[in-house]
Amino acid sequence: MNPAIEQILSRAQTLYEDVDYKAVAEWKSCAPGRKAIGYMPIYVPRELIHAAGMLPVGIFGGGDRLEIIRGDAYFQSYICHIPRSTIELALSGRLDVLDGMLFPSICDVIRNLSGMWTMLFPGRYVRYVDLPQNYDARVGGEFWRRELTAIREDMARLAGGLITDQNLRNSIRIYNQNRRVIRELYQARSEAPWLYPIAQVYAVLRAGAVLPPEEHTTMVRRYLEMASQGSALPEDRSRVVLTGMFCEQPPLALLITLERAGCWIVDDDLLLGLRWFTGEVPEEGDAIENLAQAYLTQSVATASCYAPDGQRGRWLVDAVRQNRADGVIFCAPSFCDPALLEQPMLVAALEREHIPHTQFKYSEDTGQFAVIREQAGTFSDSIRLWSEA
């Protein structure tokens, strides 16, 4: 492997494995008074944190790299895994490096977790970010502008300064660059997935949860440039879209297993919040208005957002078509209400279009992949052997 790409991947892998958030502590130690704000999946307006000079830190649970000692005592067995590992991270002091937490409104679990945080850690900054489900600019837009303004004020207060309009416009520009390069990476992978193995793409993306966006953009750009020059040859595999993984993340080994089972992953909803907007947020004019409008009109389609047009599944069919995928793998965390309640609607949409699909569930600490490998392998084989194309 090219030493330069190896260096990038080594850095990304280190960040992925680091459940002590050392990189965040290092970033804070580089200058006095630096602060970091954690956020849960899927979407929060990271621009507001960045504009205050603070570091947004994505908290995606402990994955398969954290032993749960106290977290299980706070949740019944029928609740998904991410809240228990997140509580474990906090109770073990690993999140002491954070100066506040944002909990967006994606499901009842993350919502109630915000209240648990308030009770467990009195004195720490906690905010529930209520994303609008009404997309009328005069109604949901007005509500969201108000929420954004309140978060802006909170972030400024926590940082001990002001967030100027220029600061905010600058942050929007920086995050536009970040989302743009991620979109480029997804496009490149869709065209030549053999050059961008899922383990590499995921680790590089995941680094965006803890790195400052400027640094992450550079990392993704360099990876993209180098990986595109790779010498791997195309193999006869099925091209699949993965869906259901927008919140609790699967263990990396599961993603690798899917590839080894004969699938090229050409699109997915992993780490969706890092590429939430489908286009650019305007960089001039009223920054709050621009962020609000972008949320109303440019958000990705996902289970936690209401679809006023009733076209549940259209986005998935589009993703299949645009990425020339052969099929879809529904890969959702156990007990994930948004993903699992959504699934029958997505299945119906795929079946109307005669798109093959299969499904299984995981937990972020799943350690056995034999069954998944067999299922994904059979799915991939069946597509290659029996598809009309």
Partner 1 sequence: MSADTVKASTVQKEQSMVLQKQLIGDYYDSLGRAREEGRRVVSTFVPGNLTELLRSFDLLPILPEINALQSGMRKLSANYIAEAEKQGHSEDVCTYVKCDIGMLKSGNVGPTGVKLPNPDLLLLSYTGCFTFLKWFELLRQEYQCPVAMLHVPYLANGRIEPHHVDYVVQQLRTEVIPKLEQVSGRRFDEARLSEMLALSAQAEDDFVWVLESAKNEPSPIDAYFGGVYYIGPIFTAFRGTSQGVEYYRVLREEITERIRLGLGPVTPEGTMERQRYRLVVEGPPNWTSFREFWKMFYDEGAVVVASSYTKVGGLYDRGFRHDPNRPLKSLAEYCLGCYTNLGLPARVDLLERYIREYRADGFIINSVKSCNSFSVGQLLMLRQLEQRTGVPGGFIESDLVDPRYFSPANIKNRIESYLQMLEQKRGAGVTA
Only segment of 128-136, 179-187, 216-224, 376-384 that touches partner 1 (CB under 8 A): 128-136
Instruction: Find the binding residues for partner 1 in span 269-288 (CB under 8 A).
Output: none
How far is Cα 321 from Cα 41, in angstroms, rounded to an integer?
27
**Is residue 317 near partner 1 by the rule CB under 8 A?**
no
Q: At its nearest, how many Å lie between partner 1 and the CB of residue 359?
A: 9
DSSP labels, 326-382: SEEEEEEETT-HHHHHHHHHHHHHHHHTT--EEEEEE-TT----HHHHHHHHHHHHH
**Is residue 232 near partner 1 by the rule CB under 8 A?**
no
CA atoms within 13 A on the CB side of 263: 33
Residue 322 has which token pair? 């645009």
User: How many chain residues touch partner 1 (CB under 8 A)?
Assistant: 55
How far is Cα 77 from Cα 242, in angstroms, rounded to an integer?
26
**Best CA proximity match to 140, nearest among 296, 313, 355, 336:** 296
Distances (CA, A) of 31 to 25, 57, 179, 274, 287: 11, 17, 27, 26, 27
Q: Which of 118, 170, 218, 375 binds partner 1 (CB under 8 A)?
A: 118
Q: At its nearest, how many Å lie between partner 1 and the CB of residue 299?
A: 15
**Is residue 123 near partner 1 by the rule CB under 8 A?**
no
**Is residue 139 near partner 1 by the rule CB under 8 A?**
yes
Instruction: Note whether 28 and 54 are within 8 A (CB).
Output: no
Q: At its nearest, how many Å lie between partner 1 and the CB of residue 327?
A: 17
Q: At its nearest, how many Å lie between partner 1 and the CB of residue 349?
A: 9
Instruction: Note whether 100 and 125 are within 8 A (CB).
Output: yes
**Alpha-helical segments (H) within the chain:** 3-17, 22-29, 46-51, 82-91, 108-120, 140-159, 165-191, 198-206, 213-227, 252-260, 287-298, 314-322, 337-352, 370-386
**Is residue 303 near partner 1 by the rule CB under 8 A?**
yes
Site string for partner 1, 329-348 (x = CB under 8 A): -----xxxxx-xxxxxx-xx
Nearer residue to partner 1 within complex by CB, 16 or 75:
75
How far is Cα 158 from Cα 230, in angstroms, rounded to an integer?
45
Nearer residue to partner 1 within complex by CB, 19 or 307:
307
**Is residue 307 near partner 1 by the rule CB under 8 A?**
yes
Instruction: Find the binding residues for partner 1 in span 350-389 (CB under 8 A).
Output: 361
DSSP labels, 159-194: HTS---HHHHHHHHHHHHHHHHHHHHHHHHHHH-GG
**Is residue 119 near partner 1 by the rule CB under 8 A?**
yes
- Chain centroid, CA 152 distance in Å: 22
How far is Cα 314 from Cα 173, in angstroms, rounded to an integer?
30
**Is residue 83 near partner 1 by the rule CB under 8 A?**
yes
How far is Cα 297 from Cα 305, in angstroms, rounded to an integer?
12
Q: Which of 1, 10, 17, 146 binds partner 1 (CB under 8 A)?
A: 146
Site string for partner 1, 57-76 (x = CB under 8 A): ----------------xxxx
**Is residue 136 near partner 1 by the rule CB under 8 A?**
yes
Nearer residue to partner 1 within complex by CB, 177 or 366:
366
Nearer residue to partner 1 within complex by CB, 118 or 382:
118
Q: Which of 6, 26, 130, 191 binds partner 1 (CB under 8 A)?
A: 130
Instruction: Kindly state the DSSP code that residue 264 receives in the 8-state scheme.
Output: E
Instruction: Note whether 146 and 132 are within 8 A (CB).
Output: no
Nearer residue to partner 1 within complex by CB, 131 or 226:
131
Nearer residue to partner 1 within complex by CB, 113 or 263:
113
Nearer residue to partner 1 within complex by CB, 204 or 329:
329
Which spans of this chain sit near partner 1 (rule: CB under 8 A)? 73-76, 78-79, 83, 105-109, 111-116, 118-120, 127-128, 130, 132-134, 136, 138-140, 142-143, 146, 303-304, 306-308, 310, 312, 334-338, 340-345, 347-348, 361
